[in-house]
Amino acid sequence: MKTDLFDYTLPPHLIATYPPLNRDGGRLLVTLPQQQKIQHHKITDLPSLLPTNCLVVANNSKVIPARLQARRPTGGAVEVLLVRLESEDDTSCTWNTLCKANKPLRIGDTLLFDNTSTATIIQSGEMGHRTLRLNVRSEAFRNYVDQQGAIPLPPYLKRDAEESDRERYQTVFAEYEGSVAAPTAGLHLTEALISEIRSNGCAVEYVTLHVGPGTFRPITAERTDEHKMDVEHYHISNAVADKINDAKNDGRPVIAIGTTTVRTLEGCAARHNGRVVAGDGATDIFISPPYPFNVVSGLLTNFHLPKSTLLCLVSAMGGREFILKAYDEAVQNEYRFYSYGDAMLVLPEDA
């Protein structure tokens, strides 16, 4: 499809630069694609809106303070975004990164982080990626990152990370470190909301997908099928895989919290004949209309950027024209957009 078909106009003042005062204090636009209905609710209404006996699945990846300031031996500043730990041994560790500097960075260049941590660029990749080998053990470097790194807020927030972002740009169920962007639909959920969802007869389970910087990369190709997704790594436990497959076999809806959860489940199922298989894996799945969902039947998600892969995914589930209609209604009613904004719930036919 043409990328321009996923465009819409968003007034800049609707971009939420800070989260709501309360984690569950946002608004919720409910969409029922089969009925072509749009309803206005609050996040706190979510437990009562979910289908009876559904299985809710969320992403428990944890955001690391991945944005670091380094320097060249000559003093030039270099901004480093950690993307993924590639390898480690007793004396060093290797990271995939994105680096930004005033002068070109080349293989063999040295970067200084502090008096003890130095890095050498050992490889250059596509889209600005650099592989760095550090002269310190992974554990020691991670301690440095925890102390000196900044939360990598999305660029469209146009502000530096603050101390409060260490808590608010993180879900309450975040457990396994590895993301450079939050699975933002999960930011709305509190322990109380999760408990209420379970009390209403729905199960809540977790998978892990470490979100990479590609989540912010817009589609620049003229057609969506020309866009290449970054590879992201996931883990699904045996118990959770069984529960997801049981839900599908029993005809119970699987509701994903966030597009990263959708990509985990659908990416896994696409490789295993429609079933979710436990273990570690990687996916570069790009979900765009038309797409036959194998696992997920409903979705809680934030509002996404125009011409983004995330908007394509939501459109595949709810129908492009209907989702854009819902976005237009959200704009007219001044919902808050993007990572710290309000949310949309796309419900299955039997909700």
Q: What are phi and psi of 92, to 5 degrees?
A: -155, 170
User: Are the C-beta atoms of 20 and 341 separated by less than 8 Å?
Assistant: no
Helix (H/G/I), strand (E/B), else coil: 56:
strand
Question: Please, are residues 152 and 163 in contact by the beta-carbon 8 Å criterion?
Answer: no
Portions of the chain given CATH number 2.40.10.240: 67-149
Query: Picking from 85-94, 109-118, 132-141, 260-269, which range would have the lowest pLDDT averaged per residue?
Result: 109-118
Q: What is the mean pLDDT of residues 66-90?
A: 93
The pLDDT, as a whole number, for residue 112 is: 94
Rounded Cα distance, 115 and 71, in Å:
11
| Strand extents, DSSP E, the chain | 27-32, 37-42, 55-59, 61-63, 67-71, 77-88, 93-101, 110-112, 118-124, 129-134, 176-179, 203-209, 232-236, 254-257, 279-283, 298-302, 343-346
Mean pLDDT (the chain) is: 94
| CATH 3.40.1780.10 residue window(s) in the chain | 3-63+165-346
- How does pLDDT run across 117-152, given as a tens digit for each residue? 899 999 998 778 899 999 998 888 999 999 999 999
pLDDT higher than 60, residue 305: yes
CATH number of 67-149: 2.40.10.240
Domain made up of 3-63+165-346: CATH architecture: 3-Layer(aba) Sandwich (3.40)
Question: Rounded to 5 degrees, what angle do the CA atoms 78, 80, 86 make?
Answer: 140
Looking at the DSSP bridge assignments, the partners of residue 283 are 232
Residue 248 confidence class, pLDDT cut points 50, 70, 90:
very high
Sign of CA dihedral 254, 193, 331, 179: negative
Split at pLDDT 50, 70, 90, the class of 218 is confident
pLDDT in tens, 13-58: 999 999 999 999 999 999 999 999 999 999 999 999 999 999 999 9
215, pLDDT greater than 80: no
pLDDT at 351: 57
3-class DSSP state for residue 275? coil
Give the mean pLDDT of 181-186. Answer: 97
Q: Name the strand (E) or helix (H) holding 188.
A: none
pTM attached to this predicted model: 0.94
